[in-house]
Amino acid sequence: MKIIILTGGIGSGKSTAGAILKELGAVVIDSDLLARQALDPGKPAFIETVEVFGQDILTDQGSIDRAKLGRIVFNNPEALLKLNQIIHPRVDSVVDGLLQEYKKQGVKAVFIEMAILAEAEAPFMSSAAGVWVVKSSKDIILERLKDRGVSEAEALARMANQPSVEGRVKDNLSIILNNGDKDELKAKIEKLWEEL
């Protein structure tokens, strides 16, 4: 079974690429979704995150205010590291379980959609057959983030905190430039999918 890492910075179109792959029939594990689910109220990562970052990150309903937590961690590399140390091992464990299940089912290729490759120690990273990186120009990313209601200052701070993938990955790296529309991106994804 081939494991392909699908990654890209905020606003690059990585999630759109993942959705296109699903439309093509690919199996895609969304590690960002798993990370959000790990912070559901009552779960161990939720409890630990509240212990580390305090009650101020909670909404009136008792769930984590992701925007508030985001503002804390994206402006503070040490805080981001703490949050990653809480969430990533739990996500990695779920991903490993899913990969074992897909292997038993005879799935030929699985994509793991993830925002950053900072956690290169994750067990599945060593067995990845390749990395697909979705990239966009800074201006286009800023425009996309503004459309999502993210301020320019916050967008720039988040972009600055995301390390370059190219420095970490040398082999089997595919760059998918996403400066056009969804149809353009789909054509590029389809070509790579056929080659795979």
The model's pLDDT over 161-174, given as tens digits with 9 standing for 90+, comes to: 666 655 555 567 88
The pLDDT value given to residue 98 = 96
pLDDT band at 71 (very low <50, low <70, confident <90, very high): confident
In which domain, by residue range, is 118 found?
A: 2-195
Burial degree of 176 (CB within 10 A; 0-12, 13-18, 19+): buried
Q: Do the strands 173-177 and 128-135 form a parallel or antiparallel pair, or are they unpaired? A: parallel
Tell me, what CATH number does 183's domain have?
Answer: 3.40.50.300
The set of residues, in sequence order, having a beta carbon less than 8 Å from that of 23 and lying 6+ positions away, is none
d(CA 118, CA 70): 17
The pLDDT value given to residue 151 = 81
Q: Is the pLDDT of residue 27 over 60?
A: yes
Tally of domains within the chain: 1
